[in-house]
Amino acid sequence: MHLIIAEKHDAAKRIAQILAGSKPKSPRVNGAETFSFDDKVVIGLSGHIVGVDYPAGYNNWQKVDCKELIHAEIVTTPIQEKIISALKKLGKEADRITIATDYDREGELIGVEALKIAAEKDPKIKIDRVRYSAITKEEIQSAFKNPGKVDYDLAASGEARQIVDLVWGAVLTRFISKTSGRLGKEFLSVGRVQSPTLALIVDREKEIEAFKPEPYWEIYVDLEKELRVHHAKGKIWDKVEVDQIVANLGPEGIIKSIEKKPRYDKPPTPFDTTSFISAASAIGFSAANAMRIAEWLYTNGFISYPRTDNTVYPPSIDLKSLVSMFTKGAFAKEAQNLLKGRMVPTRGKRSTTDHPPIYPTASVDKNELKEEQWKIYELVVRRFFATLAEQSSWEISTLSVDIGKEPFRANGARLIEAGWRAYYPYSKSEEHLLPELNEGERLLVLGHEVASKETQPPARYGQGRLIKLMDELGLGTKSTRHDIISKLYARAYVHGNPMKPTNTAYAVVDTLEKYASAITKPEMTQTLEKDMTRISERKIKEAEVIDESREMLTSIFKDLEENEAVIGTSLREGLRTDKIVGKCEKCGSELIIRRGRRGSRFIGCSGYPNCKFTLPLPRFGTLLVTDKECDMHHMNHVRIINKGKRPWDLGCPHCNFLEWQAKKSQEPKSINDVLTNIQGIGPKTLEKLTAAGIKTTQDLLKAEVESLVEKTGLSQKKLLAWQSAAKALTAQGC
């Protein structure tokens, strides 16, 4: 039997369909779905099926000294039990194993992890590796006709990254969290790539805060023929000079010169991951969402592999054939026009051999995709077209006008040939047409404007710009940068886009920069990134890189330990400010987010026990106090962040509570209140019952107990007792 291992379920299904030429069978093996045809079985993993971790004895944050984690043993732990079990069973029956995971560092590691499990019983089994950049019929068939060898060195570099990130993250996160007293679900995370990235955002915010605007003025004059001209000096920093210029203006303007020259805009280069995320960010997609959708499009055969550093199309891609696919459908007009031209592709600065740039691999109708999927797909198609199109050409006009003693200018731009811009509307450059004029022509002055302005601070980083900067500084990789940004949001270190750091972010970065600055600088992580690349190039051993990283961390940790007391004080003060929601309307003291003994959260007055004003808060999710303030209660709005979900804007906690009270007063007694009246049904049990579809006492009475036991894991005895209690409550009219 020939066992084929793909990285994900959907990829396995599509590969099996392509190789089988028809719909394969889909038997389950130890609970995991597989796809079989002829003598072949294709199984999809779920990314990593094993992970690296510390032995169980190191899991207690309070009992284990952080320093012990630096040189502690690292073990492999199972993540996907069903898939591991299936691999062991299939591996015993196989006489050949082919790794067909994504071809990059992470994909190679995922494949080797699975291979070790599947080949456990027969280490000498025939093993090979297929590499492809698109899950299309041509690429998959070609890949399986020309298999290669597994790259164990590339996998080792991926494993080194896992171990290095685990050790740095665990040691620093535990130290900072314990020192600040921020434990439990609200721990403070620190990471080898995450922390220097966060420092970039905080440092930019400090630049903005320290910026002192300078006033300046610009002078405009309106002339006949709808012509507006701008004083040749542009920004004028002296108001006295401005007044003098205005005094010098005459009743008419004289056209001194008219210059016209061509300008050419080169087409954009092909998408690599960084430029793709940047372009997607410009049309409203977060980095993580853009990559999630791109990966779905790749897995379903619509675009090439979206994790690439390449900006040069390889000769093996038949560009004309790809464009011809689109001569019918939504892009028919553009494709037909493009085929009439030379179609010479642009070339970026980076050319790699692992994957080509991101390009469309199949034509699909708009109604076959969800709205967001179509937007990303269209972005990829239009960028691909633009890279094959002609340059755009403009006629640029420069007009010089004298008004009294003062020189003025006007600039115009007229589009001659749209070229690539006809295919790629995301890069906007508008025409500005000047009227037809002659040198020496005189125009009456209709009026003037003195515009008072100020210099502006540097802009905050949007996700697209930050991804580019991380790429330039060597922070993270094309596969990890969007995840790093997602973590910053999830940990409530930043909010909004462009990103604004919270006080918690300030506290963490300021503390690290003062007492362990290497953690916040890109140089440290750059060194480790280069070393991991050297592993894949067989220039250094995995163990050497891991040992080197541990020595670097030991040096950093020494500085942290020596300053533990002041670090704790610094962190606690910064963290406290992020919990302040506003002023108490009863006593004027600060209102602070607090946690109850049983895990509940609420807003309480710092004037307690003299003032007992409180407001309830949701139990789950990370709480983020925003800058927006309620006009009525003068409380800051609160946002709830739940992993994997869109943030929920709770708004003003006081307004939210009043709305909830009003709604509750108009409704019959809530379902949850009735169920929790049954002795033994607490919040956790209620969650289990709700997840199983039990939302009312009637649901509980009608439910089949055996089925409910299986769905909830609750005992049959308890459920029968609760049914009896529910029956009694119903009889009482509750």
Task: Pull the structure tokens for residue 191.
Answer: 């990471």
Helix (H, G, I), strand (E, B) or coil at 5: strand
Cα separation of 730 and 671, whole Å?
Answer: 12
Indicate if 305 belongs to the active site.
Answer: yes
Cα separation of 730 and 718, whole Å?
Answer: 18
Cα separation of 71 and 515, whole Å?
Answer: 22
CA atoms within 13 A on the CB side of 383: 26
**b vs e for 231-247, b when ≥16 Cβ sit within 10 Å of the residue's Cβ?**
bebeebeeeeebeebbe
Q: Which DSSP state fits 532? A: H
Cα separation of 278 and 133, whole Å?
Answer: 21
Of 265, 642, 299, the residue nearest 489 (C-alpha): 642
Backbone angles phi, psi at 271, to 5 degrees: -70, 125
Burial of 523 by CB count in 10 Å (0-12 exposed, 13-18 middle, 19+ buried)? exposed
Contact assessment for residue 611 and residue 594, using Cβ atoms and an 8 Å cutoff: no
Cα separation of 592 and 551, whole Å?
Answer: 41
Distance, C-alpha 524 to centroid of its chain: 23
Write the single-letter amino acid at 558: K
Q: How many residues does the chain have?
A: 734
CA atoms within 13 A on the CB side of 535: 24
Strand partners, 629: 636
Burial of 661 by CB count in 10 Å (0-12 exposed, 13-18 middle, 19+ buried)? exposed
Residue for token digits 């049954």? 678
Cα separation of 235 and 577, whole Å?
Answer: 40
Strand partners, 403: 253, 406
From 305, 313, 493, 515, the catalytic residue: 305
Cα separation of 171 and 404, whole Å?
Answer: 72
Helix (H, G, I), strand (E, B) or coil at 181: coil
Strand partners, 263: 394
Query: Catalytic residue positions?
Result: 305
